[in-house]
Chain A
């Protein structure tokens, strides 16, 4: 088996005495789109935040490209190729759409290629091209999510972490965002997708992990999880 892009071993995270993540193992191979699903408060977002260094783990190991990440400062994760699209998007609302995208390429120095990548993002999101001079805070929720994903793409990530990209968006916009996620995956970008919308996430992903109160209770291919009766009952509302 080839070396995993990301390997999590027995990860435990605690905030002020509360154990949010209670020892999980997770692995992502290059080129995969992996979904991490689970109910509110299961520890999914905490896991993502720990992956990019915003939260320090209490125990366990995170290996990215085979190397431990625990010594990296937050701002070096992008350079290594791991980028988080945070929950609630976290865009710079008083920068223009284009400036937001340029911020995404902050760690890069190749001006011509950055310009080409901005055009590439505009190709994925024609809506953003129309609004490239607009302040990002004046966009609709869906467009802001597009800015957040586009901005993350600008760093040319090896692993893209998406935290609840569907949150607070109208169903039709959610469909659109997931279409884009599929397109990005088709370009070969490896992704870890955290979602409450389990059905859509599993329909998009190759594999899935189910998280329940800080532990991973199931790990299987996305098809098998979709077919699993317990999952259907608990998360798919069928």
Chain B
């Protein structure tokens, strides 16, 4: 283990407290210490949302071994569900008691509905694996997006490509997250308040996945990934357990989608394109499939790096050539893509893989040495 120095309980507790303190002061360091700190904090907020997404996809891909290329559809389901119930868009049509539900009810609803979509995707694909499953899930993701793009006719449900505007911010403990909140002499602006809100749910999801990993269900997922026939011979109802993986992964996506919609205040089909599914999959693979710390690391790197590059590319270009040689937007994605290729070549098992995954990649090395 990488944390051998954390031997005693006190040491571990101390490390956790220090880490929590760092996370607590991070927004103030960013917004106080840097010129465009608030946009940095915004990027961190999005990174947290991506961590939730990546952990959800990790259940499907990392644990159960089901390659899902349409994962962003569940994010979309959560986001649109939040938008329907928390914006004026459908307020005239829906009964008043349904509108503006309390946050926890809303998120639970998002989890359940997205989970149902997960089962919807899972049930026809139970017999598929690998490439074939990837194609079907890719199609599913696109179908959801195209529905959102076109359901403005004949009845306007999603408002089509224009998307839904005026989505209300979260109200929690009587506080309106849409306005700056004064507390303890500090001003919590929207990005600050959302940072803590998303962080809390992120922590919850991390806790749930940690518990799942070493549970009976977690082992069943890995067993199915290993050998489906042997798994069913052990008494695992492979159909239900696979559906559970789809549903659980999807529900994480739904929760983070709902938080996304409320944070952004605006949703449109453009946020849920195939590229987003691919990015989330990159986070999982690059970090270390099936390994929670790895997946978190992957999500942070993949979501933050483009933002860092955005800030440093122009100064670097100016310093090197004295002028702007290349369009920064293209160059940014080029460098980012290159970095991912290099990482995958050097560490195909991911940056921070689990013991299990490492063994998968290196058993041939050992055979060669023997």
Residues of chain A at the chain B interface (Cβ within 8 Å): 52, 54, 73-79, 83-84, 86, 90-95, 99, 102-104, 106-107, 135, 137-138, 151, 155
Contacts and interface: CB of A to CB of B under 8 A. Distances in A.
B229 A137 contact: no
Contacts of A104: 234
Given A75-B233, A95-B226, 4 more contacts: A79-B235, A92-B223, A95-B219, A95-B222
Contacts of A94: 222, 226, 356, 359-360
A155 B236 CA distance: 12
A90 B233 contact: yes
B230 interface: yes
A155 B229 contact: no
A204 to B, nearest CB: 24
A76 B232 CA distance: 9
A137 B235 contact: no
What's the dominant secondary structure at chain A's contact region? mixed
B230 A75 contact: no
Given A94-B222, A135-B359, A106 B227 contact: no
Contacts of B223: 92, 95, 103
A95 B226 CA distance: 9
Nearest to B357: A94
Contacts of B43: none
Contacts of A73: 237
Listed residue (B220, B232, B236, B366) with the most chain A CB atoms within 10 angstroms of its CB: B232
Size bracket, chain B contacts: 20 to 34
Contacts of B360: 94
B165 interface: no
B7 interface: no
Contact of A75 (B236, B359, B366): B236
B230 A91 contact: yes
B230 A90 contact: yes
A99 B232 CA distance: 16
B247 to A, nearest CB: 19
A90 B235 contact: no
Contact of A84 (B233, B356, B363, B366): B233
A102 B219 contact: yes
Nearest to B237: A75
Contact of A106 (B236, B355, B359, B363): B236
B234 A106 contact: yes
Contacts of A135: 355-356, 359
Contact of B229 (A54, A77, A99): A54
Contacts of B153: none
Contact of A93 (B220, B226, B234): B226
Nearest to B363: A137
A138 B230 contact: no
Listed residue (A76, A79, A92) with the most chain B CB atoms within 10 angstroms of its CB: A92
Nearest to B356: A94
Interface string B338-356: 0000000000000000011
Interface in B215-261: 216, 219-220, 222-223, 226-227, 229-238
Contacts of A91: 230
B233 A92 contact: no
Contacts of B232: 74-75
A106 B356 CA distance: 20
Contacts of B227: 90, 92
B215 to A, nearest CB: 11
